[in-house]
């Protein structure tokens, strides 16, 4: 844009259009940045949720195995 600006020095209307275009580009850039930031936050939240599910499932399996082992040992003592 700075390369174009010197060509428009004598045309005030073109300079105003150029400034408006630059402002629009800046706003679109800001909007895209905010959207990407929100997307990243959503992905992080989803990753945390999945990690919790994985950890819980892992712990549940460990507890089940421990319970099964204890049940087997307890049944062996009864006999």
Q: How far apart are the first and last CA of the chain?
A: 88
CA-only gyration radius of the chain, Å: 32
Structure tokens at 24: 């629009």
Half-sphere exposure of residue 17, counting CA atoms within 13 Å on the CB side?
A: 7
pTM for this prediction: 0.54
pLDDT tens track, the chain, 79 positions: 566 667 667 778 888 888 899 899 999 999 999 999 999 999 999 999 888 888 787 766 666 665 566 556 555 555 4
Q: Which residue ranges make up each domain of the chain?
A: 5-78
The whole-number pLDDT of residue 27 equals: 97
**Entry field: residues in the chain:** 79
């Amino acid at each position: 844009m700075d390369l174009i600006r010197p060509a428009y020095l004598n045309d005030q209307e073109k300079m105003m259009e150029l400034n408006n275009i630059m402002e629009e580009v800046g706003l679109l850039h800001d909007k895209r940045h905010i959207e990407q930031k929100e997307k990243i936050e959503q992905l992080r939240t989803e990753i945390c949720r999945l990690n919790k599910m994985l950890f819980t499932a892992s712990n549940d399996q460990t507890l089940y195995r421990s319970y099964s082992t204890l049940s087997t040992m307890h049944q062996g003592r009864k006999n």
